[in-house]
A and B are shown apart, each in its own frame.
Chain A
């Protein structure tokens, strides 16, 4: 039995294809990309060694600073909002709608499966001011306000991106956290309620601690996704106006493919990867501390 379960040839045949594709197309490029960071040039012109110049440039480049700032601001604000809103939805499903929540859950989840580009183009037209006045500006007009040029100003554009991504993802986090909340034992909540615990205290001291593991997965998943934001921004604002809504991902893309500077692009990509890694580790560690203190 041991021999058959550990048969080397079978393992090779079954694991081989996946491992080869994964190593050649993902792991190797990650390593080579790190190498690119020490060179200048691109696929067509060839590469020249420049040592640590690209890293020096990262520190001095004001565009890196602004896109890093945008990435962090976007990632943190959207993570808090989408996990928060998702948690609100999950509480609504479990404790208010209860058994009747299936239909609402299904409807609110729907935007999750829509292609980002299609949604972004739709939101562009929803918030448009000219030549066509979109419903949002028309609605502002009815309320007596003056129309706003949402994409002409970086501050407004930022919030349109946030709103769109909330619209796309809230249903997803609702369902994700709902799955964690239905596991909270009903009897435990019932007995706490009988002893006179308020809803607020119930949520604060019982429901949140009990759903901590799934809340943690949601946070890690969210920060990892939001730091890598690309599709929504490219399709909605393309980084504009100017570069006011340009995240690191888009700046890397422009540097590499519009300016043909692979070396510098690779060092921006490396910075992004390190950022994702740092945040994941940070959330893991701070969560572990919370659990041991409680």
Chain B
């Protein structure tokens, strides 16, 4: 393993790859810092940049954007009280308070160091955990993969928040859309209307660009704001030794929390940041100081949200199940490069995997360096007026969806997805379940039918194999708990009214 990592580092430190990582991180920080542009949107928009690149460079560019954007969100959270990405929402609580006192530089410095530490912890865990998990997954057969897909799908209920029913509906629609195209088992054409472009199904990257980038651009046209003004002066960014000492325990704990939340499919950086913030408060000797601008209150969410980045890569690389919406796009990127994520990736492409690990570590290091040196430059970027930015984003959506297959058909798919995404947003239907369903749907169907064919139509095969049985039970619990909770809550409310 160490040898593979060493070779990986050598590849990463070649001029071309290093430039791509630096560019990715810098671009990511800018995207993250601009309110309204999320990490998912950034990766979706810039994915087409990688089509002409070799796998290592392309994937590391996207990972750089991912790590940079999650960190960059804290810049506007601290300076503008507006989180640049949902992942930085918890950073506003203490970050802005500290900046208000005239210590914007100190807040940004703490956020930078914590992000680096959280990201590094998650990369180390990613390197240690995923080969073991992949080894285990090599023994999986169709029944386990079906159970795994069901587990991933059950997460839909938990990420739908208060719109549980609408989340489930969105998930089912996504699953139905995933059946469009030639049935892989029998070769029969389903719902293709004889259109050749639909034989291989809808390109889910187009759907994602539409749902996550274009629909957001539509929304931001309505909420076009005047130029945001930064009042705070950014002074010394390098954190003092006493600050570092203060945040170390919180940072390590939050990095670990973030990583493990990232590993759970469906739970992303926003959830990780809030959980870590609450835990930091619970562990603290002075919990009442949280929210008044203390270092731990910035370190906890920032270490956790960057911790999620490495964690979310674990199920993606080992099982082919994305840990959050951003890694879902990464899955598309890997497939476009001819790499099918899953346990076999560790057998057939071990050097590549370890190069990705090494490169991801370097990306976090660059977050630290750029964050400490270039922060003044990045605070200037927030000044780009959104009336220029939004139209350019729309053009990039078009360019990106065209580049997937060189076809205007994919652009139309993207356009329709964008319009649907916009309407869904207005009607409070969550969009992430559709994407999760689009990715896991084909896997669930294929493995279900494979397992049934192998067992001769006996459904008991899913429950006699231990791993599959456990996963299915966990999936059922994950799916049913929020449903039962919401029913209990509603009946309580009714009783209160009567």
State yes or no: do A and B come from one complex.
no
